[in-house]
Amino acid sequence: MQGKGSVLSCTDPIQGRETTMRRKQNGVMVWTTLAAMLLALPAAATPVPSLPAREQMLGLLEHKALYRDRVDWAVLRRDLAATDDPDRQRRLLSDAINRATAGHGGWMSAEEVREGYRKRAAGPGMAPAAAATEGPQAHPIDARLGLIRVAPYLPDPGLPREQQRAAERQEAQRLQDLLWRQDDGSRCGWIVDLGDNTGGNMWPMLLGVGPLLRGRADGPDVVGHFFDGAALQPWRYREGAVWVGDAPRLAPDDTARRPRRPDAPVAVLQSGRTASSGEAIVLAFRGRPHSRSFGTPTMGYSTGNVPVTLVDGSTLLLTGTVMKDRNGIGGGSRIVPDVTAAQRADAMRLAQAWLLAQPACGGNPTGNAGPGARPSWKTVP
């Protein structure tokens, strides 16, 4: 994987018809996730790439895919050359992409990209990344705690690049505005709910929760990494903006604003639906002082994709990096919470109990929840 420049987000694997197309995208080598767009592709047609696009795709996969050694590329080319059946060709390509990307990459025709986005945007699953919690809640929240729900976010891939960036900034700003409205001095802890975040573009999400990431005013600015097999590329929250390596990626309108209590404890809610870019945000909080995660293991697509437009206008989602936390820990697999709770209501209840037991909320910490304690984050295959 090539991890240069800005890293984006992941795809939504929950609703994709093909398991091969699920996660992140790379913009300036921005890794992002577009699985969210695969949710409703035309069922009858079997589009395949043109021959030049197919050769371009195979070359990229053979030389740059994260798990390229899992495919015999000579045999694949022989089998593709031996059939004129589009169904057979698509199956062969999908199987190879699936193995070379561990199920996170994929290929979409130009029409599938457009149709997937149209259906995604029109459906109930396309909640804005900033949509969080105002009004009555299914699970009551203690008045001393703030709550930010980070939903999937996927911009229209047909928009010009500048308009996509403007949309990213708008979503990040909306999420931060929600945080600032709650940050009135009465909040002693925060809940960041990623339980329904199935992926999309990670940068608005990361910037939206950025003020909570460092754990203290002078905390380290590195909050995560991409790893391409050779080098780590850090994600940073610095000077009120998100950076990739040493290059700024996304900034809000007001980069000077800071949370009233930057060291307030944070509880992260996750579930088996949390995927791709959602997993990136889970990882961004992992290792933060005074943070803890609650719920069930994530879906297991914590790898980075870069969307590549092929010569026929179709798109290859090329998985080339593994996502890691601020300490360089992560294997591209499922992320296990610190506290297991099978039901969302239980995760919310346990998260609130832990937060209110922290010194910041005037509680009496127990066990390893005391000041400076670091949770034992884990991943499973």
Strand partners, 115: none
pLDDT band at 315 (very low <50, low <70, confident <90, very high): very high
- What tens digit of pLDDT does each residue of 3-40 get? 333 334 444 443 332 333 333 333 333 444 444 444 33
Phi, psi of 188 (to 5 degrees): -100, -5
- What tens digit of pLDDT does each residue of 142-172 get? 999 999 999 998 877 677 889 989 999 999 9
**Per-residue pLDDT, 364:** 55
Q: Identify the three-state secondary structure at position 123.
A: coil
- What tens digit of pLDDT does each residue of 295-313 get? 999 999 999 988 899 999 9
Range list of H helices, 183-265: 202-209
**Per-residue pLDDT, 26:** 35
- What tens digit of pLDDT does each residue of 199-223 get? 989 999 999 999 999 999 888 999 9
Q: What is the rounded average pLDDT of the residues 55-70?
A: 96
Residue 62 has pLDDT above 70, yes or no: yes
**Per-residue pLDDT, 217:** 87
For the chain, the average pLDDT equals: 82
Element of type H or E holding 76: helix 73-81
Write the CA distances from 342 to 42, 57, 346, 347, 350, integer angstroms: 35, 40, 7, 7, 11
Please give the share of the chain, as a percent, with pLDDT higher than 90.
Answer: 66
Q: What is the rounded average pLDDT of the residues 277-282?
A: 97
Q: What is the rounded average pLDDT of the residues 244-257?
A: 92
pTM exceeds cut of 0.85:
no
- What tens digit of pLDDT does each residue of 78-120 get? 999 999 999 999 999 999 999 999 999 999 998 887 777 676 6
**Of 20, 26, 22, 23, whose CA–CA distance to 2 is shortest?**
26
